[in-house]
């Protein structure tokens, strides 16, 4: 695109510097996590564990019971994403119907929700969840973004690309709404489903404010909250001992593993979705 030598050199420098800003800290986290407690407390940069040890992971899993928040987060992520995708698809399907009386009103209500951000209604949301008896349940985290206008609009965009003639002829053959959705829209708009799911998985996995506010019960704590207490050293372990960096870094590594497995598989959808979403705004 650009021809100059200077531009090329600068481009590579910028990109490699940015990549290094990602890789070097992450590498250091990994190296520290495999250090001994003593090793991780040494001053200087740890780019390789001086003595290889699984002490950090051991403390984390055995003494801090890190698997429970993991399981809770997995439950919320999977069930939450499943329901979110299902409901977004249903709403998207309703919005592409051409001769539906009242469609404008339905679309208007959905668009209006875009103006209400969670962070702004934190306190009333807490009150309402209390009224519905949802406080201190993992279900509250599934309810808190059960369906969103953003996902509905994304599904609608993908559904609109399914050829109308094909749907029309299927309808002539007597296909009902359920059959149309399952046999035509699901396979033909699969990238749409994958995109909504990918974004929702990341969103649910990273939930922070919602569990912070809605959940008090240590049995129902989620990964990000457990991670926060380990990282900021507020862990409520019975033993009042100090959490060394090797334990903290081991917690980060464990929390990153599912994301880093998931990312390459879903990367295509995470990127295609952002351009579709970006154009829509």
Partner 1 sequence: MLERIRRHWVLYVLIAPILIYFCAFLFYPMAQGIYLSFQKAGLLGPVGFIGLENYAKVFSTPMVWQAIWNTLILAAGITILGVILPIIPAIALVQVVPDWLKRSLQTIIYTPYLFSFVIIIGIWLNTLSPIGLVNTVLLETGLISQPITFFSDPFWARPMVIGLTVWKDMGFHALIYLAALLSLSPDILEAADIDGANDFKKIRDIILPHLMPMIKVVFLITLLGSLRTFDSAFLMLNGRTADQIRTLAIFTYERGILNFDLGVASAAGVVLLAVSLLIAGLARLFLRNEEDEVRNA
Of 246, 248, 216, 220, nearest to 232 by C-alpha is 248
Q: Per CB under 8 A, which of residues 71..130 are in contact with partner 1?
A: 87, 90-91, 93-94, 97, 99-102, 106, 109-110, 112-113, 115-117, 119-128
Specify the residue, 238 or 279, whose C-beta has the smaller distance to partner 1.
279
Instruction: Please compute Rg for the chain using Cα positions.
Output: 24
Least distance in angstroms from the C-beta of 268 to partner 1: 11
Q: Per CB under 8 A, which of residues 171..200 are in contact with partner 1?
A: 176-177
Distance, CA of 100 to CA of 232 (rounded, Å): 53
| Residue 228 binding partner 1, by CB under 8 A | yes
Q: HSE (CB half, 13 Å, CA atoms) of 238?
A: 3
| Residue 216 binding partner 1, by CB under 8 A | no
Specify the residue, 31 or 238, whose C-beta has the smaller distance to partner 1.
31
Q: Per CB under 8 A, which of residues 151..170 are in contact with partner 1?
A: 152
| Residue 256 binding partner 1, by CB under 8 A | yes
The contacts of residue 165 (CB under 8 Å, 6+ apart) are: none
Specify the residue, 53 or 207, whose C-beta has the smaller distance to partner 1.
207
Single out the residue of 37, 65, 79, 206 in contact with partner 1 (rule: CB under 8 A): 206
Q: Which stretch binds partner 1 (CB under 8 A): 38-46, 60-68, 153-161, 189-197?
A: 38-46
Q: Which residue has the tokens 């003593």?
A: 38
| Residue 236 binding partner 1, by CB under 8 A | no
Q: HSE (CB half, 13 Å, CA atoms) of 259?
A: 17
The size of the interface with partner 1 (CB under 8 A), counted in residues, is 93
Of 97, 70, 99, 108, nearest to 258 by C-alpha is 70
Specify the residue, 7 or 78, whose C-beta has the smaller distance to partner 1.
7
DSSP, residue by residue, 59-81 = IIIIIS-THHHHHHHHHHHHHHH
Least distance in angstroms from the C-beta of 241 to partner 1: 19
| Residue 53 binding partner 1, by CB under 8 A | no
């Amino acid at each position: 695109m650009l021809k100059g030598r200077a531009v090329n050199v600068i481009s590579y420098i910028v990109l490699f510097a940015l990549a290094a800003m990602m890789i070097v800290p992450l590498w250091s986290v990994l190296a520290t996590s495999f250090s001994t407690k003593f090793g991780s407390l040494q001053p200087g940069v740890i780019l390789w564990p001086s003595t290889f040890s699984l002490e950090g992971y051991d403390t984390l899993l055995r003494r801090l019971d890190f698997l429970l928040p993991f399981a809770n987060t997995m439950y919320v992520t999977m069930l939450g994403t499943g329901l979110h995708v299902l409901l977004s698809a249903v709403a998207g399907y309703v919005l592409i119907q051409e001769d539906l009386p009242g469609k404008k009103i339905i679309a208007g209500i959905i668009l209006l929700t875009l103006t209400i951000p969670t962070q702004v209604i934190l306190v009333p949301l807490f009150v309402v969840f209390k009224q519905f008896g949802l406080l201190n349940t993992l279900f509250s985290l599934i309810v808190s973004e059960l369906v969103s206008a953003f996902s509905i609009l994304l599904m609608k965009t993908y559904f609109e690309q399914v050829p109308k003639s094909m749907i029309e002829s299927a309808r002539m053959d007597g296909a009902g709404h359920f059959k149309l959705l399952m046999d035509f829209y699901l396979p033909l708009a699969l990238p749409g489903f994958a995109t909504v799911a990918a974004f929702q998985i990341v969103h649910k996995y990273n939930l922070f404010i919602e569990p912070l506010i809605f959940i008090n019960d240590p049995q129902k704590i989620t990964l990000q909250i457990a991670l926060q207490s380990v990282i900021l050293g507020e862990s409520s372990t019975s033993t009042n001992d100090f959490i060394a960096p090797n334990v903290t870094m081991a917690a980060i590594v464990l929390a990153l593993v599912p994301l880093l497995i998931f990312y390459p598989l879903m990367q295509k959808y995470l990127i295609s979705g952002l351009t579709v979403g970006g154009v829509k705004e």
